[in-house]
Amino acid sequence: MSEGPAAGFVRVRLDLGYDGADFSGWAKQRSRRTVQGELESAIATVLRLPDPVELTVAGRTDAGVHARGQVAHVDLPAEVWERESGKLRRRLAGRLPWDVRVWGVAEAPPGFDARFSAVWRRYAYRIGDHPGGVDPLLRGHVLWHDRPVDVDLMNEAAALMLGEHDFAAYCKKREGATTIRTLLDLSWERGADGLAVATVRADAFCHNMVRALVGAMILVGDGHRPVGFPAEVLAGRERHSAVNVVRPHGLTLEEVGYPADELLAARSREARNMRTLPGCL
């Protein structure tokens, strides 16, 4: 896999956001509406490109998951970029549907890869536990839980999960893919609006990981399980029947972090290597 654009091409970074409600996730699928499909079609159309483009994204979100701070890159012919760079964002604003927006378009620094150069991704999951339900204006972005949750208990449970672990118990397994991740932040806060909001930040996430972690935390928050339960599930490395993968609409990709420009290429190479835990072969 090439770490940079081919000769005669320029790598372009896109910063974007979308409401995931009407998308079948990020990844392009035949006969289904996806974020990648909409963006690639719009880019090829506004630039009048003879060949399709292919986007690489920092985090492949599932169906129904939203994003505020998603990052992608696309390699464009240098002559097209030189001619159109100053107009591309405005043209995309006119071409794209209203539930996906491109906020930034810029030539990427050398070594940049939207996926492999990232050092962390930060998600938020929003829960409303008011007995009357969720504000109708927020219902597409907030999960309603019909019992009150204790954020202090959930924070106690979350503290036991931090660090590098095999998160197989919280991931949908994929052939040949590691489930070892470094969980950098998992914390809960009760906002002024009454919502319980989880901040989840890791170097990377495996499939369903955030939503399964939230599902385990809710069991602690509403009193169904003790504080140590999520960590016990983690240590078991197998899915637990009590842990539900919560619905996608409460989840938003908020931000992607990258190292300094001079470290981008090294980070990209490091991230492509299969990870193992110390002592594991």
Tens-digit pLDDT profile for residues 187-203:
999 999 999 999 999 99
**CB-neighbour burial class of residue 244 (10 A; exposed 0-12, middle 13-18, buried 19+):** middle
Tell me: pLDDT of 240 over 90: no
**3-state helix vs strand vs coil in the chain, percent to 5:** 25, 25, 45
Read off the pTM: 0.94
> Is 120-255 a CATH 1.10.3720.10 domain?
no
9-116 CATH pick, 3.30.200.20, 3.40.50.720, 3.40.718.10, 3.30.70.580: 3.30.70.580
Question: What are the binding residues?
Answer: 123
Question: Which tens digit of pLDDT belongs to each residue from 250-266?
Answer: 999 999 999 999 999 99
Pairing relationship of beta strands 66-77 and 251-257 according to DSSP bridges: parallel
Mean pLDDT of the residues in the chain: 94
pLDDT at residue 272, as a whole number? 82
CA dist 139 and 12 (Å) reads 35
The token pair at 205 is 């996430």
* pLDDT recorded at residue 242: 87
The closest alpha carbon to 240, from 248, 249, 230, belongs to: 230
**What stretch(es) of the chain map to CATH 3.30.70.580?**
9-116
Contact 264, 135 (CB under 8 A): no
Q: With cut-offs at 50, 70 and 90, classify the pLDDT of residue 274.
A: low
Give the Cα separation of 255 and 258 in Å (integer). 10
- Collapsed DSSP state (helix, strand, coil) of residue 8: coil
Binding site listing for substrate: 123
Instruction: Give pLDDT tens digits for 202-229.
Output: 999 999 999 999 999 999 999 999 999 9
Structure tokens that stand for 141 in this block: 């972005």
Instruction: Give the model confidence (pLDDT) of 2-26 as tens digits.
Output: 578 999 999 999 999 999 999 999 9
Tell me what the mean pLDDT of segment 59-73 comes to.
Answer: 97
pLDDT on residue 276: 63
pLDDT tens digits for 80-128?
A: 999 999 999 999 999 999 999 999 999 999 999 999 999 999 999 999 9
Domain with CATH 3.30.70.660 in the chain: 120-255
> Tell me: the pLDDT tens digits for 227-238?
999 999 999 988
pLDDT at 277 (0 to 100): 62
Q: Which residue has 């654009």 as its token pair? A: 5
In sign, the C-alpha dihedral spanning 79, 81, 87, 91 is: positive
So what's the pLDDT on residue 265? Answer: 93
Question: Known catalytic residues?
Answer: 62
Residue 145 pLDDT greater than 80, yes or no: yes
pLDDT for 278 equals 57
